[in-house]
């Protein structure tokens, strides 16, 4: 888990284009800023979770393109936690950094926060992996490597390498995973739905493949629809669990999102979404990704509300859902330990800038 001291240093880093074949973690830092407008928000004045996801993945991609000197795509995501809402009138800041580079892959850390005249709030922590690709969507070698010069950089590099190793099982079965087309199993057959979309050219990025941010934006909507139907009220995105992208989505593909409620807590609903694509000409189908969204039930006042307990559930599905919830809870508890102190550091950083 990223330590407070390392994040303090990340705040001070400006980032720059790599010179030669080596670069430092500090030099990889990329920052983007957004003014949150009414068109970004829901009726409660909060930004749609999918929009936040897209902004974050845009920033991560910018880091990857700069350091790898070419196109990149999202290969997997370890986690993305939303600790506070993003609201109209906020300045939304995303900082990304690259603590480790493999032959063709890049680990990326994310910190996002908001500020206005009244307060600073941490909104998001995330960790994901990118793959550098060529014009044929095949992995290409990254010409730059990370060199560590300070203790905090060494810690970040070690943690990123550990994340990469933990993720290895997702990567190793990629060829098998693309052919697993069965939908996720819900707690109860009533707790599921399917949605369809055509991949359009305007949703693509370089190398003619669907932007992961656009895909997750859409999946976040699907998760929200299913969770709100169960909760009979408003839900917001709390986190996205470990996610791997197995196969690219190209223009004209028919995208099927099969969503299922796979865990229900006191105030939260986990929605598993399995995405498959069908080539409109060859009719070939591929499993592209499976993502786990945790949605929180809230009222019109923005406060969390309880949801009704599930009935007649599949115990095997519940057991696996509990395991994922426990893993998320452990990570979230660690992040919350540094949240308040980091917000104070960001406030100092912003005041210094002004």
Last-in-domain residue among 137, 172, 207:
172
Question: What is 243-254 written as a DSSP string?
Answer: EEE-S---TTPE
Domain-ending residue, one of 148, 172, 196: 172
Looking at the structure, tell me whether residues 68 and 193 fall in a common domain: no
Residues 122 and 4 placed together within one structural domain of the fold: yes
Residue 118 shares a structural domain with residue 253: no
Burial code of 254-284, b = ≥16 C-beta within 10 A, e = fewer? bbbbbbbbbbbbebbbbbbbbbbbbeeeeee
SS3 helix, strand, coil % of the chain, rounded to 5? Answer: 35, 35, 30
Q: What is the mean pLDDT of residues 70-95?
A: 95
d(CA 195, CA 293): 16
DSSP letter (8 states) at residue 304: B
Residue 342 burial by Cβ neighbours in a 10 Å radius (0-12, 13-18, 19+): buried
Q: Do the domain assignments include residue 339?
A: no
Are both 70 and 186 inside the same structural domain?
no
**80 with 134, same domain?**
yes
Residue 249 lies in a domain: yes
Q: Which two tokens stand for residue 52?
A: 């936040």
- Tell whether 160 and 221 lie within a shared domain: no
Of 115, 148, 172, the residue that ends a domain is 172
Tell me which residue range forms the domain holding 138.
1-172
**Residue range 319-332, pLDDT digits in tens:** 999 999 999 999 99
User: Is the alpha carbon torsion for 162, 78, 40, 113 positive or negative?
Assistant: negative
* Residue 24, domain member (yes or no): yes
pLDDT exceeds 70 at position 171? no
Specify whether 202 is located in the same domain as 296.
yes
Q: Read off the CATH number of the domain in which 105 is found.
A: 3.10.129.10
**Residue 233 and residue 240 in contact, taking contact as beta carbons nearer than 8 Å:** no
Q: Would 324 be classed as within a structural domain?
A: no
- Cα-to-chain-centroid distance, residue 19: 29
Asked if pLDDT for residue 152 goes beyond 70, the answer is yes
pTM: 0.94
202 and 95 in a common domain? no
CA–CA separation, 36 and 180 (whole Å)? 39
For residues 322 and 43, the model is more confident at 322
Whether residue 46 is contained in a domain is answered as yes
Write out pLDDT tens, residues 241-280.
Answer: 989 899 999 999 999 999 999 999 999 999 999 999 999 9
CB neighbour burial string for 128-164, b if at least 16 within 10 angstroms, e if fewer:
bbbbbbeeeeeebebebebebeeebbebbbebbeebb
Q: How far apart are CA 324 and CA 219, in angstroms?
A: 19
- Read off the pLDDT of residues 52-71 as tens digits, 9 standing for 90 and up: 999 999 999 999 999 999 99
Cα end-to-end span (Å), the chain: 30
Domain shared by 29 and 122, yes or no: yes
The answer to whether position 142 is within a domain reads yes
**Number of structural domains found in the chain:** 2
Alpha-carbon distance of 64 to 96, in angstroms, equals: 10
Please say if the pLDDT value at position 339 is more than 90: yes
User: Which pLDDT value is given to residue 350?
Assistant: 84
Same domain for 149 and 234, yes or no, is no
Q: Is 69 a domain residue?
A: yes
15 and 73 belong to one structural domain: yes
Task: Please indicate, yes or no, if residue 331 is contained in any of the structural domains.
Answer: no
3-state DSSP assignment of residue 255: strand
Question: Would you list the DSSP string of 106-171?
Answer: EEEEEEEEEE-SS-EEEEEEEEEEEEEB-TTS-B---S-EE---SHHHHHHHHHHHHHHHHTHHHH
Q: What is the mean pLDDT of the chain?
A: 93
Q: Is the pLDDT of residue 1 over 70?
A: no
**H helix or E strand, kind and range, residue 97:** strand 91-101
Query: Is residue 19 domain-shared with residue 124, that is, in the same domain?
Result: yes
């Amino acid at each position: 888990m990223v330590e407070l001291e390392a994040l303090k240093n990340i705040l001070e880093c400006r980032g720059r284009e790599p010179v030669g074949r080596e670069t430092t973690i500090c030099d990889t830092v990329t920052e983007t800023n957004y003014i949150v407008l009414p068109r970004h928000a829901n009726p409660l004045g909060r930004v749609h979770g999918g929009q936040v996801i897209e902004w974050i993945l845009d920033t991560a991609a910018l880091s990857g393109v700069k350091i790898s000197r070419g196109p990149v795509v999202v290969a997997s995501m370890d986690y993305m936690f939303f600790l506070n809402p993003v609201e109209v009138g906020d300045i939304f800041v995303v900082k990304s950094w690259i603590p480790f580079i493999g032959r063709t892959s890049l680990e990326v850390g994310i910190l996002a926060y908001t500020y206005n005249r009244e307060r600073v709030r941490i909104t998001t922590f995330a960790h994901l992996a990118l793959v550098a690709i060529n014009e044929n969507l095949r992995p290409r070698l990254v010409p730059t490597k990370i060199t560590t010069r300070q203790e905090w950089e060494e810690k970040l590099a070690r943690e990123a390498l550990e994340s990469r190793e933990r993720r290895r099982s997702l990567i190793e079965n990629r060829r098998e995973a693309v052919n697993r087309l069965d939908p996720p199993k819900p707690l109860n057959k009533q707790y599921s739905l399917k949605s369809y979309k055509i991949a359009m050219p305007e949703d693509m990025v370089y190398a003619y493949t669907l932007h992961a941010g656009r895909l997750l934006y859409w999946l976040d909507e699907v998760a929200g629809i299913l969770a709100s139907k169960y909760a009979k009220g408003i839900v917001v995105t709390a986190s996205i669990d470990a996610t791997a992208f197995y196969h690219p989505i190209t223009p004209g593909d028919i995208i099927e999102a099969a969503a299922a409620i796979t865990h229900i807590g006191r105030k939260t609903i986990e929605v598993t979404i399995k995405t498959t694509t069908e080539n409109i000409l060859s009719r070939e189908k591929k499993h592209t990704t499976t993502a786990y969204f945790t949605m929180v039930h809230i009222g019109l006042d923005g406060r969390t509300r309880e949801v009704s307990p599930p009935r007649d559930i599949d115990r095997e599905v519940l057991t696996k859902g509990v395991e994922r919830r426990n893993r998320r809870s452990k990570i979230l508890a660690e992040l919350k330990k540094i949240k308040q102190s980091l917000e104070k550091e960001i406030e100092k950083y912003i005041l210094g800038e002004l």
